[in-house]
Amino acid sequence: MKVSIPAVILGASGYVGGELLRLVAGHPTYALQVAVSDSGAGKSIGELFPHLDQALAGHTFAAHGEWLDQLETDSTLALFSAAPHGASAAIIANAIAACDEKGIEVHVVDSSADFRFAGKDEWETIYNARHGAPEILDQFICALPEHVGDINAAHVGHPGCFATASTLATAPLIQSGLTEPEVFISAVTGSTGSGKSPQAGTHHPERNSNFYAYKPLAHRHAPEIAALAEAVSGRKTTVHFVPHSGPFARGIHVTLQAKSKAPVSEKELREVFEKAYANAPFVQVVSGTPRIKNVVASNQCHIGVATDGDTVVVMASIDNLVKGAAGGAVQWMNRLWNLPETEGLDMPAPGWT
């Protein structure tokens, strides 16, 4: 008989939280124990997410102050956090301490930015706030599962959605040594990347039929991409990052450019990425240019390459809510519990979203 692992989702009423609920509902090992949301407390999951009404019938949201009492002594727990940046760390620290007291074996995957840097000083400089739990930073790693083998950490800080797509495109290229360690990245994201709370950037009359850059060369994902790429390649990497808002709900498309050190062919480029991701079930090197409709609502990343000999272009497409957040978190949680990496995630993209 297959053993199930109880799952708790923090910040479960947002877009990433909703995707975590959907993925956990269909997962063969994780069983939803508590969906945590102060704003949704007492409401049924179906009331906030009608598409999950049948799959999670009988489940209601619990407030943050309530769920820790529901943990059973000497059990196991898969703890997913989709709580906001800056708030997630302290909540997680309390949860880990409670699990320690009750003898609960817990693994955490945090989709916020709170555990994306190894040191609190760097995090506090980038996010202009005090870190909520610097004392547990050493219990986390931040990486993509495609880029690391066995790990010693018990918990993971999942990279951001822009960083996921950009790093999948950047790291093998820098590691190959074919180009200068300087990349210029233009990336477009759908409106769900701005979160569930309405704001000017996601208001339909502003976003629909519109396209614009924001925070060019000043976005906080740039140092994250550089750090992740350097950890894989071992080479100091300079990242020039310009994000854009696209007139669609889901998906990210990244276009990276770099200067080659010597003339390089498209065949050589393809071989770099095919070798790097030969054992990565969710990364596919495609012919031509990747398109977001081929990956949206899946955990897939499609990568394409182009070159004129002197300039190299690498393109990557992902779903920002799945591979860039909830799906990547489940992928990591599978690894932490020694489950097949693809478990609960092998759904194809619908194609005509």
* Shared-domain flag, residues 288 and 173: yes
CA atoms within 13 A on the CB side of 3: 7
Residue 65: inside a domain? yes
pLDDT of residue 116: 96
Residue 328: inside a domain? no
Residue 119: inside a domain? yes
Q: Look at the chain and report how many structural domains it folds into.
A: 2
pTM attached to this predicted model: 0.96
Whole-number Å distance between alpha carbons of 141 and 156 = 5
* Shared-domain flag, residues 121 and 190: no
Residue 330: inside a domain? no
Name 277's bridge partners.
Answer: none
CATH of the domain at 25: 3.40.50.720
* Shared-domain flag, residues 196 and 244: yes
Sign (positive or negative) of CA dihedral 158, 270, 285, 191: positive
CATH of the domain at 176: 3.30.360.10
pLDDT of residue 206: 85
Print burial letters for 317-340: b (CB count within 10 Å at least 16), e (below 16): bbbbbbbbbbbbbbbbbbbbeebe
| Cβ-contact 302, 290 below 8 angstroms | yes
Which residue among 99, 142, 161, 301 is the active-site one?
A: 161
* Shared-domain flag, residues 192 and 227: yes
pLDDT of residue 1: 59
The SS3 call for residue 79 is strand
Residue 340: inside a domain? no
* Shared-domain flag, residues 308 and 167: yes
* Shared-domain flag, residues 261 and 307: yes
Q: Which long-range contacts (CB under 8 A, 24 or more apart) does 210-215 make?
A: 210/245, 210/247, 211/244, 211/245, 211/246, 211/247, 212/244, 212/245, 213/242, 213/243, 213/244, 213/245, 214/243, 214/244, 214/245, 215/243
* Shared-domain flag, residues 26 and 124: yes
Last residue of a domain, one of 141, 171, 187: 141
* Shared-domain flag, residues 46 and 183: no
Burial zone of 343 (CB within 10 Å; 0-12 exposed, 13-18 middle, 19+ buried): middle
Question: Per this entry, what is the length of the chain?
Answer: 353
Please tell me what DSSP assigns to residue 179. Answer: B
Q: pLDDT averaged over consecutive 10-residue blocks of the chain (353 residues)? A: 88 97 98 95 96 96 88 94 94 96 97 94 92 96 96 96 98 97 97 81 84 94 96 97 95 98 97 98 97 98 97 98 98 97 96 86
Please tell me what DSSP assigns to residue 211. Answer: -
| Cβ-contact 283, 168 below 8 angstroms | yes
Residue 16: inside a domain? yes
* Shared-domain flag, residues 100 and 24: yes
In 3D, which of 37, 43, 29, 28 has the Cα closest to residue 9?
A: 37
* Shared-domain flag, residues 132 and 172: no
Domain boundaries, position 292: 161-320
Residue 227: inside a domain? yes
Residue 151: inside a domain? no
| Cβ-contact 147, 230 below 8 angstroms | no
Tell me the H-state helices in the chain. Answer: 15-25, 45-48, 88-102, 120-127, 161-176, 204-207, 221-233, 266-276, 327-336
161 included as an active-site residue: yes
Please tell me what DSSP assigns to residue 18. Answer: H
* Shared-domain flag, residues 136 and 197: no
Angle at 164 between CA 13 and CA 318, to 5 degrees: 75
Instruction: Please state, as a whole number, how many other Cβ atoms lie within 10 Å of the Cβ of residue 347.
Output: 15
* Shared-domain flag, residues 103 and 190: no
